Structure 1
Amino acid sequence: MRQNLIKYLLFVIACFATLLGLLGVILPLLPATPFFILALFGFSKSSPRFQQWLLNLPGIGDDLKHWQAHKKINKQRKPAIYLSIVVSFLISILLIGQTTLQLMLVVLMLILLFCMKKLPES
């Protein structure tokens, strides 16, 4: 009974993470990849069918397969990731008129860039 509850909870979390990941593809400030990685983990423990569906998604599936196999980010993809982070944050910073929020976004962008730099590459 407890194991079924854990599987159900992981499935719900994975569904929610997938939804947030899909929103992250559209919205500039919401990162998609961490949510897809969380969804991949949840589906791997609760639903192999949904795990395969996620791994076959166009645009993100190949990156998830690479992450699943190596737990590393593709070295050739890192510059594009850096660029997308900087561009999306700069657009948001320019659209927000409050200096305090702009500074918070700059700090958040720098933290995200630092974390990306620390991830292992392949």
Structure 2
Amino acid sequence: MKRWLFLVLGLVLTGLGIVGAFVPLMPTTIFLILAAACFTHSSPRLEAWLLDHARFGPTLRAWRENGAIPPRAKALACAGMAFGFLVFFAVVHPGLPLALGVGAALAACAAFVLSRPSGPAAS
């Protein structure tokens, strides 16, 4: 039962990751990192497929081996968070406490992304 749950969750996360590759502001890599973790517990074949994928495999392996995020991915992630905050601010017109809270949460996420090594040589 546990194996099937991880398999279904991995497939759903893979689907979300694929959608994220085409939809602006929707993340891709985090869904695929989580999918690979699910496949570790359910399907070594699907895990290998993700890790060996020509487009996503190198990033997934870098994360798994070193907790690394490539510089381009860091820049895109931080730019996406900043753009998302600007859209939020323009559409919602939040009060100061909400704007500060959302801004602080996004700043904490950006700080985490920027704190990660950029590759094997940086770890």
Q: In the TM superposition, what are the counterparts of 1:1-122 in structure 2 within 5 Å? A: 5-75=1-71, 77-87=73-83, 89=84, 92-93=87-88, 97-100=91-94, 108=102, 111-118=105-112, 119-121=115-117, 122=123
Measured in 2, the distance between the counterparts of 1:33 and 1:20 equals: 10
Runs of 4+ in 1 over 6 A off after TM superposition: 103-106
Give the gaps of 5 or more residues in structure 2.
Answer: 118-122
Measured in 2, the distance between the counterparts of 1:23 and 1:106 equals: 30
TM superposition shift of 1:74:
3.1
% identity of equivalent residues: 26
Shifted more, 48-57 versus 8-17: the winner is 48-57
C-alpha change, 1:105 and 1:26, in structure 2 (3 Å) is farther
Measured in 2, the distance between the counterparts of 1:21 and 1:48 equals: 19
